[in-house]
Amino acid sequence: MVELNVNGKAHRLDVEAEMPLLWVLREIVGLTGTKYGCGVAQCGACSVHIDGEVMRSCSIPASFAAGKRVVTIEGLSPDGSHPLQIAWAHYDVPQCGYCQSGQIMAAAALLRKKPKPTDADIDEAMTNICRCGTYQRIRAAIHTAAGTGKAGGSVIHIVDASAASTPAAVADERSNASA
Amino acid sequence: MDKTLADDNVDLSRRRFIVSSAAAGGGLALGVHVPFGIGSAAAADAAGTEVNLWVAVKPDDSCVIRIARAEMGQGTRTGLAQLVAEELECDWSKVTTESVTAARNYASKRAWGNMSTAGSRGIRDSQDYVRRAGAAARMMLLQAAADEWKVPIADLSVANGVITHRASGRSTSYGKVAAAAAKLTAPDPKSITLKSPKEWKVAGKPVKRLDTADKLNGKKVYAIDLQLPGMLHAAIKACPVFGGKLASFDESKIKGRRGVRGAVRVNDSTVAVVADTWWRAKSALDALPIVWDEGADANVSSASIAAHLKSGLTSDDAFADSDYGDALKAIAGAAKKTEAVYSVPFVSHSTMEPMNCTVRLSTDKAELWLPTQNAEASMAALSSSSGLPLEQCEVHHLDLGGGFGRRIGNLDVVRQGVAVAKQFPGVPVKLVWSREEDLTHDFYRPIAQCRMQAGVDDRGNLLGLFLRVSGQSINAFANPAAIKDGKDVRQLQGLWKQPGDAQIGYTVPNMRIEYAMRNTHLPVGPWRGVNTNQNAIFLECFMDEAAKLAGKDPLEFRRALMGKHPKHLGVLNATAERAGWGKPLPRGVYRGIAQFMGYASYTAAVAEVSVSSKGEVKVHRMVLGTDCGHFVNPATIAAQVEGSVAYGFDSLLTEISVQKGRVVEQNFDTYHIARLKHLPKVETVIAPTHDFWGGVGEPTICVAVPAVLNAIFAATGKPVRTLPLKHSGLTLI
């Protein structure tokens, strides 16, 4: 038996003491917002807070979390109103979204320690893998949620190039001859 | 090893699931064969009234737009909805989307067209018929109002789903007339005049994605999150040496473990353990004694593969795609000449959501839940492997936790999942690959080498260019029928002479571009950007070497060769200008530039890089440009451009290497994917020419790496010819 407090709710669970917290959360408690990505504490998709510290739940046995306060993405805020969730929505950070629970949990732990993080702080703390490459927007969303006043996000230049090209010239004439 | 998309293309045509290419590809591309048929009359339920197959309207005026392509993060769901909504003239704030299932598409004779989502085709191959569908629905809704008011339709106007009769000032809304509209005959799609993109109000704008909210609170359900009553879980292991077999396993050693239901011989190379939770299944699998028959390739190594590829650099079995003038003779007689050999490694897809599927089989029904880029191909694999006809198959494709070309059909995983589920009739079985299984059993980006020669005259003009690619062929592994006369042109993607999709952007008086096929026992497949990735590194880095030989600025050297390629040149110029090419940089920072074409879009990149005395490479800023013709959502394009830099950086940072016939890198502790700190500030230049439809998801990835490598070359004076960077004594920080 392992007794867990997850998002403020007590659970008494008949699981092996060595079952990783990730799988207890996902398959026993039924909270699937915390993701499996690597199983070796490298990618951070499984990040949760244990007594306020961000930890990679794939590599934490359930017994370690017993008696401690576990917070998952589902419990970060009651209604998606955490400043990071709001900033994440503002920048449309997620692409596929799979890693974002872990990213947000890592960022939340960073802000608790360093309410006004620098870029270097963000570089150091945000080691979670995002395969879609949302890193630039993650950085911007953290700055915005923290109110650091640092600009960021996407920079988009739209340059009308239609005057500069003539469709007929697209085909190399030699290509047409030899095709 | 399960092979090939081609296998299931065969299955598909045998089952007449894919209609002939003339009817499907050609017709859909023209957008004139997609019926906008009237929906079922009984559709006025909670799902709304189906006005046509693509649009349903609810009483509260909200519109449900159906999406047939897969959403894997690339933003196609939102982009397609923008295109439909633009013509529909509905209220964008009341738009929701719904996925069309493969079974529904099959039952409707593919009324929703091709569901495959690969090759950066989600928007460009759908745009015509989805816009026509939106317009047809608008015309029917307006007609219904005109009929009700007994006025000519021409006297009505519509905006944000509100229809107004201009003369009387009467108004109604889509929700009120939808039921009547659904009973009308759909207009002939050929008669519909689409808006000019210049008139767009929703399309072409950086609207927010429609699918963000649930990705921020843990509510979004990916296939790997699926929970069904009585579900069992399977962990799986295939022979670590590709082509090897499963000899035996000793199930007695895991008998009695908590939750374990048994071990299953999945196929001749694969074993699975099934349990009540995945962790128990995986733990038991790790404890299961397995004997492999490793087969003929158990001695293959990265070194032997490199030697095999090297033989292709000078062999006489190559063919030429481009062959203008006499490249070798021109180079031999040139005032100055240079030669180089480049090599790029295998790299892995590593989708963040590990490979998975859930299968439930009964005597008369096969059900499949999975992340897939092609639900139709997945359904064909479900049918062929379960033995049940397509009519008894149902595929629930959930939004993917990453695709990148790894999940085109997901055939290997589906066949495994069906094989396991057959042992547990009526019970849903979720098969999840460990990350180790994923990294060691991917369809890798092909490994390749390239030998190049260039000759310039005494004024620095490029007289001759020779390029020989030697490397593995995707088609040879996955689709041999696509190789015509032994010439696999696909491996020269981006260097093609033909215009339109992936054409080389330079005119050189004497130029020869060759490919020699050198296959290995590793499976290979499309990897976001596919072969443009390797070929852009080869060509664009060597262009900088040639520019140096010529004593020219890399941008000026390129421009002189691009007069007959104005679109390539246009985006190169726009990108260079925004990047400030030629303007002063902080001390120690150097620029590199690259341009290339893929997926019908023209791209360019400029990187600003510094290299420390210890070989630490820092990329400070990158500007990437694309001319994708028309554009639907600039914010999404920027996201794809930003993401393509991160994905492209794989081959700077890491590689898939081989020892004893198996992949060495088992997890992210040795396969070093880009983290946040590695990424520069990325700026996106959209330089549209508004006269074609190009792709977005893949095209910019190929220019990211050569721009960085050329900046390193500028910084150090030494070209980086072998990737990842560690082979050149460099580290990305």
Q: What is the pLDDT of residues B613-647, one digit of tens each?
A: 999 999 999 999 999 999 999 999 999 999 999 99
Rounded to a whole number of angstroms, the distance from the CA of A41 to the nearest CA of chain B is 9
Domain end call among A47, A74, A101: A74
| CB of B8 closer than 8 Å to CB of B380 | yes
pLDDT the model gives residue B45 = 53
Mutating which of B82, B211, B232, B279 best tests the A interface, going by the most A Cβ atoms within 10 A? B279
The answer, yes or no, to whether residue B16 has pLDDT greater than 60, is: no
Q: Sort out which chain A residues have CB atoms less than 8 A from B637's CB and list them.
A: 156
Shared domain check, A26 and A47: yes
Average per-residue pLDDT for chain B: 93
Shared domain check, A32 and A67: yes
- Can you read off the two tokens belonging to residue B43? 């559709």
| CB of B356 closer than 8 Å to CB of B432 | yes
Contact check, Cβ <8 Å, B74/A104: no
Residue A65 lies in a domain: yes
A56 against B10, higher pLDDT = A56
Shared domain check, A98 and A66: no
Determine if the pTM surpasses 0.80.
yes
- Can you read off the two tokens belonging to residue B710? 């050329």
Q: Sort out which chain A residues have CB atoms less than 8 A from B681's CB and list them.
A: 136, 155
Inform me whether the C-beta atom of residue B356 falls under 8 Å from chain A C-beta atoms: no
Average per-residue pLDDT for chain A: 91
Contact check, Cβ <8 Å, A159/B679: no
| Chain center to CA of B611 | 32
Q: What is the pLDDT of residues B405-434, one digit of tens each?
A: 999 989 999 999 999 999 999 999 999 999
DSSP B529: T
Q: What is the pLDDT of residues B152-202, one digit of tens each?
A: 999 999 999 999 999 999 999 999 999 999 999 999 988 999 999 999 999
Residue A153 lies in a domain: no
Residue A176 lies in a domain: no
Strand B245-249 and strand B290-293: the pairing is antiparallel
Instruction: Write the residue in B218, B258, B669 that is nearest to A101 by C-beta.
Output: B218
The answer, yes or no, to whether residue B124 has pLDDT greater than 80, is: yes
* CATH 3.30.365.10, domain B302-347+443-732, yes or no: yes
Which alpha helices (H) appear in B221-367, and where do they start and end? 278-287, 302-311, 327-332
Q: Which of residues 619-648 of B touch A (CB under 8 A)?
A: 625, 627, 634-635, 637-639, 642-647
Shared domain check, A103 and A53: no
**H/E stretch holding A85:** helix A83-90
Nearest CA in chain B to A158: B686
Q: Sort out which chain A residues have CB atoms less than 8 A from B218's CB and list them.
A: 31-34, 72-74, 101
Rounded to a whole number of angstroms, the distance from the CA of A158 to the nearest CA of chain B is 5
The answer, yes or no, to whether residue B452 has pLDDT greater than 80, is: yes
Domain end call among A74, A92, A119: A74
- Can you read off the two tokens belonging to residue A83? 């400043």
pLDDT the model gives residue A163 = 59
Contact check, Cβ <8 Å, B353/A35: yes
Residue A173 lies in a domain: no
User: How does B499-537 read in b/e, with b if 16+ C-beta sit within 10 Å?
Assistant: bebbbbbbbbbbbbbbbbbbebbbbbbbbbbbbbbbbbb
Residues A107 and B112: their CA atoms lie apart, in Å, by: 41
Give residue A97's domain range.
Answer: 83-146
pLDDT the model gives residue B13 = 31
Residue A166 lies in a domain: no
Q: DSSP 3-state assignment of A113? A: helix
Contact check, Cβ <8 Å, B73/A167: no
Q: Is B22 exposed, middle or buried (0-12, 13-18, 19+ CB in 10 A)?
A: exposed
pLDDT the model gives residue B8 = 36
Number of domains in chain A: 2
Rounded to a whole number of angstroms, the distance from the CA of A59 to the nearest CA of chain B is 12
The answer, yes or no, to whether residue B4 has pLDDT greater than 70, is: no
Q: What is the pLDDT of residues A62-102, one digit of tens each?
A: 999 999 999 999 999 999 999 999 999 999 999 999 999 99
Confidence of residue B21 (pLDDT cuts 50, 70, 90): very low
The answer, yes or no, to whether residue A171 has pLDDT greater than 70, is: no
Query: Could you tell me the CATH number of the domain that includes residue A119?
Result: 1.10.150.120
Contact check, Cβ <8 Å, B220/A97: yes
Contact check, Cβ <8 Å, A175/B499: yes
Inform me whether the C-beta atom of residue B435 falls under 8 Å from chain A C-beta atoms: yes
Q: Which residues pair with B50 in a beta bridge?
A: B56
Rounded to a whole number of angstroms, the distance from the CA of B388 to the nearest CA of chain A is 31
Domain boundaries in chain B? 31-215, 223-295+355-432, 302-347+443-732
Mean pLDDT of the B277-299 span: 98
Nearest CA in chain B to A72: B218
**H/E stretch holding A17:** none
Mutating which of B352, B407, B620 best tests the A interface, going by the most A Cβ atoms within 10 A? B352
Nearest to B526 by CA among B401, B400, B678, B701: B701
A161 against B233, higher pLDDT = B233
Mutual angle of helices B532-550 and B701-716, in 10-degree steps: 30
Q: Order the strands of the A2-6 sheet from edge to edge.
A: A9-13, A2-6, A69-71, A47-50, A53-56
pLDDT the model gives residue B48 = 86
Instruction: Write the residue in A89, A96, A126 that is nearest to B213 by C-beta.
Output: A89
Nearest to B607 by CA among B596, B598, B594, B588: B594
Mean pLDDT of the B699-718 span: 98
Q: Sort out which chain A residues have CB atoms less than 8 A from B682's CB and list them.
A: 136, 154-155
Q: Sort out which chain B residues have CB atoms less than 8 A from A165's CB and list them.
A: 566-567, 569-570, 689
Contact check, Cβ <8 Å, B578/A157: yes
Contact check, Cβ <8 Å, B673/A129: yes
How many contacts, defined by CB atoms under 8 Å, are there between A and B?
A: 266
One fold for both B31-215 and B302-347+443-732?
Answer: yes
Contact check, Cβ <8 Å, B573/A164: yes
pLDDT the model gives residue B46 = 62
Q: Count other Cβ atoms within 10 Å, centred on residue B387.
A: 11
Residue A135 lies in a domain: yes
Instruction: Write the residue in B352, B507, B574 that is nearest to A159 by C-beta.
Output: B574
Which CA distances in Å does B123 have to B126, B131, B589, B633? 5, 11, 38, 11
pLDDT the model gives residue A165 = 43
ipTM for the assembly? 0.94
Q: Which of residues 668-727 of B touch A (CB under 8 A)?
A: 668-669, 673-677, 679, 681-692
CATH code reported for the domain at B31-215: 3.30.365.10
Strand B429-432 and strand B232-238: the pairing is parallel
Residue A99 lies in a domain: yes
pLDDT the model gives residue A152 = 85
Mutating which of A79, A136, A174 best tests the B interface, going by the most B Cβ atoms within 10 A? A136
Q: What is the pLDDT of residues B583-616, one digit of tens each?
A: 999 999 999 999 999 999 999 999 999 999 999 9
Q: Order the strands of the B156-159 sheet from edge to edge.
A: B156-159, B162-165, B171-173
Rounded to a whole number of angstroms, the distance from the CA of B195 to the nearest CA of chain A is 19
Mutating which of A92, A100, A110, A173 best tests the B interface, going by the most B Cβ atoms within 10 A? A92
Inform me whether the C-beta atom of residue B76 falls under 8 Å from chain A C-beta atoms: no
CA dihedral B530, B536, B537, B539 (to 10 degrees): 140
Nearest CA in chain B to A84: B216
Instruction: Write the residue in A85, A89, A139 that is nearest to B676 by C-beta.
Output: A139
DSSP B446: P
Residues B288 and B275: their CA atoms lie apart, in Å, by: 13
The answer, yes or no, to whether residue B244 has pLDDT greater than 90, is: yes
The answer, yes or no, to whether residue B76 has pLDDT greater than 60, is: yes
B26 against B170, higher pLDDT = B170
| CB of B354 closer than 8 Å to CB of B438 | yes
pLDDT the model gives residue A59 = 98
Strand B260-267 and strand B270-275: the pairing is antiparallel
Inform me whether the C-beta atom of residue B570 falls under 8 Å from chain A C-beta atoms: yes
For chain A, percent of residues with pLDDT exceeding 90? 87
Residues B496 and A179: their CA atoms lie apart, in Å, by: 11
Rounded to a whole number of angstroms, the distance from the CA of B698 to the nearest CA of chain A is 12
Inform me whether the C-beta atom of residue B665 falls under 8 Å from chain A C-beta atoms: no
| CB of B304 closer than 8 Å to CB of B287 | no
Q: Count other Cβ atoms within 10 Å, centred on residue B184.
A: 16
Q: Which of residues 127-186 of B touch A (CB under 8 A)?
A: none
Which CA distances in Å does B498 have to B108, B121, B530? 36, 19, 18
Residue A172 lies in a domain: no
The answer, yes or no, to whether residue B438 has pLDDT greater than 60, is: yes
Contact check, Cβ <8 Å, A36/B685: no
Instruction: Write the residue in A129, A154, A179 that is nearest to B498 by C-beta.
Output: A179
Instruction: Write the residue in A40, A88, A133 that is nearest to B669 by C-beta.
Output: A40
Q: Sort out which chain B residues have CB atoms less than 8 A from A143's CB and list them.
A: none
Contact check, Cβ <8 Å, A154/B225: no
Domain end call among A74, A92, A120: A74
Nearest CA in chain B to A23: B279
In angstroms, the first-to-last Cα distance of chain B is 37
Mean pLDDT of the A146-172 span: 71
For chain B, percent of residues with pLDDT exceeding 90? 93
CATH architecture of the region B223-295+355-432: 2-Layer Sandwich (3.30)
The answer, yes or no, to whether residue B28 has pLDDT greater than 50, is: no
Q: Which of residues 222-261 of B touch A (CB under 8 A)?
A: 222, 224-225, 227, 233, 258
Contact check, Cβ <8 Å, A166/B566: yes
Q: What is the pLDDT of residues B543-557, one digit of tens each?
A: 999 999 999 999 999
